[in-house]
Structure 1
């Protein structure tokens, strides 16, 4: 769904229809956010769904605990993906690379602290993933 932004923005930029770039960015962000709401329901009910599919309760519980921390990441991705494609269509790639590299270092440190120092385990690891994605969006 979001991949169409790359094609549409590339065509709009090539045709010098710069006003359409923003429109495609906004529409894609709204559509991905709506899709994220649907995906959130799957994440919330992941434990019973996994058990229904035959997974052991222990594994289903651990997996659901992990995905609960990933729920904010869904919406960060819904915002970040169209922005990246919007910029790539205009050949603006360096800022994304620098931001992603800086966020990687922050992510590694925060993951270590959350999992080993605070003992937050799976929820800590997934929460740091979500937080890292939001750093990318905000930066």
Structure 2
């Protein structure tokens, strides 16, 4: 199997996934404290947060999947898909939050972040030495 890139919280890599998922959920579920800024148009500073947040989420998901039975390529692919799916779910949730609304540019930034985070994890893992 692969050597894990991250040191899991309390020994379980899935707790890291839950922690990052919770941060993304809270960030998406809080009502927007400020109004929308028309000068940002489609590309406001929140797009960077989507990219970084889902990049980190995809990396910890890939690490958790890669520490199990999946090969690195499968873990990378599945992690990017799961992170993008979670971004879609969070976008749908925002339809019900006052002052929030899902945007295509948010999903695009989240998808790019998911792919970059998963690929970064894939390129950074080191194969474990063969067991004797």
**Structure possessing the higher relative contact order (Cα contacts under 8 Å, 6 or more residues apart):** 2
| More helix by percentage | 1
- When the two structures are superposed, what TM-score results if normalisation uses the length of structure 2? 0.40
Bigger radius of gyration, 1 or 2? 1
**TM-score, normalisation: structure 1:** 0.38
